[in-house]
């Protein structure tokens, strides 16, 4: 279980207190992927590939905050951030001898969870596996694996994926830019062997790296928090530079108000694809929840302004923090989907 350069994996932790001592949030850090040995060699010379290059301290904000005003339901829990240094959403299993790059994401995940169990998480009453972006995808991929660590115990186990619902979308040139990229990630990191068998039994490995093909069969309760106009996906999947040959999307990608009518039609179709996926097989499980708002952003759970600040995004007058908490604690069913842009005036857009 090592980072891409062979250094040990790492985590940051703020111990719980009082009523939160037997409750744990384990957050999987995000930070993109690398789809080739060359790209991974470059990445291993950064904090995303080597624990030697990571900050020794991080400020925990949003869902990881210890401030009860900012994080009323989880502030006193044991809060952990597992650092991301494998390049494949904690799912790789391999080694490239020529470049000396380790692809050990699955081992990192297993070792980190086993370690946390050994220092007290095994006696937890409540646990939440969370993650944002590539970490959100990881929370989806590993949700049932995480639940299995608590099999036979009375622990409440749930998962939260923030900005992890990466769609297998057709780009503006009619291609599949993200599918091609994910195919490189899956092949380079030899991810196929760690993916859910419920998916790989009938679909190719690249398809099983897309959440839409696995969320319907996850048994552990999971919550999807996503912007319907996910800005990372607009920039890198829907209208990437390689597909935008004449640069027609350049202005729209930097300012949503510059999008013309035909571009808005493409963006609305992307939203409809996301909504359709969430309302499909995923919604059939009573334990699942979702908050899909019509904002242009990427990642909302670890940012105070969007998690639980005065003026943070809401759907039906309920904030993200309240929605996640109501779902986790079973206080209410949370299945919130915003009306299409531009109806939501509570958004914090960052396109």
Among the listed residues 233, 241, 244, the one whose alpha carbon sits nearest the alpha carbon of residue 182? 233
- Give the separation between CA 33 and CA 230, rounded to whole angstroms: 17
Q: Is 133 annotated as catalytic?
A: yes
In Å, how far are 185, 188, 190, 278 from 194, measured between CA atoms?
Answer: 13, 13, 8, 24
- Give the active site residue among 298, 301, 323, 338: 298
Q: Which of 144, 162, 230, 338 is catalytic?
A: 230
Rounded-to-integer distance, Cα 103 and Cα 88, Å:
8
Residue 276 CA to residue 58 CA, distance in Å, equals: 37
Catalytic residue (one of 133, 207, 323, 325):
133
- Contact in structure between 325 and 274 (CB atoms under 8 Å): no
φ, ψ of residue 196 in degrees (nearest 5): -60, 125
Compute the distance between CA of residue 39 and CA of residue 202 in angstroms, rounded to an integer: 30
- Residue 121 CA to residue 133 CA, distance in Å, equals 25
Mapped onto helix, strand or coil, the DSSP state of residue 223 is: strand
Q: What residues are annotated to the active site?
A: 133, 230, 298
């Amino acid at each position: 279980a090592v980072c891409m350069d062979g250094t040990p994996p790492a985590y940051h932790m703020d111990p719980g207190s009082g009523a939160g001592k037997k409750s744990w949030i384990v957050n999987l850090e995000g930070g993109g992927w690398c789809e080739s040995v060359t790209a991974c060699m470059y990445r291993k010379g950064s904090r995303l590939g080597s624990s030697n290059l990571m900050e020794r301290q991080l400020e925990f904000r949003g869902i990881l905050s210890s401030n009860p005003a900012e994080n009323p339901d989880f502030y006193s829990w044991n809060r952990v951030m597992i650092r991301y240094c494998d390049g494949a959403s904690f799912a790789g299993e391999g080694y490239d001898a020529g470049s000396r790059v380790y692809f050990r994401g699955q081992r990192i995940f297993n070792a980190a969870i086993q370690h946390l169990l050994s220092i007290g998480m095994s006696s937890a009453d409540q646990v939440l596996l969370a993650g944002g972006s590539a970490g959100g995808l990881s929370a989806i991929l590993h949700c049932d694996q995480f639940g299995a660590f608590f099999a036979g115990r009375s622990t409440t186990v749930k998962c939260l994926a923030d900005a992890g619902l990466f769609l297998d979308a057709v780009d503006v040139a009619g291609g599949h830019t993200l599918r091609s990229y994910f195919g490189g990630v899956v092949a380079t990191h030899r991810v196929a062997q760690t993916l859910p068998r419920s998916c790989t039994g009938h679909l190719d490995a690249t398809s099983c790296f897309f959440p839409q093909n696995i969320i319907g069969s996850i048994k552990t309760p999971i919550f999807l928090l996503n912007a319907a106009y996910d800005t990372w996906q607009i920039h890198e999947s829907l209208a990437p530079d390689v597909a935008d040959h004449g640069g027609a999307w350049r202005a729209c990608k930097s300012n949503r108000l510059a999008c013309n009518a035909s571009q808005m039609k493409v963006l609305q179709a992307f939203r409809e694809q996301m909504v359709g996926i969430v309302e499909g097989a995923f919604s059939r499980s009573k334990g699942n929840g979702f908050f899909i708002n019509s904002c242009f952003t990427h990642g909302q759970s670890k940012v105070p302004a969007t998690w639980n600040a005065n003026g943070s995004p809401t759907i039906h007058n309920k904030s993200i923090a309240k929605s996640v908490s109501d779902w986790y604690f079973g206080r209410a069913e949370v299945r919130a989907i915003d009306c299409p842009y531009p109806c939501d005036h509570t958004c914090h857009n960052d396109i």
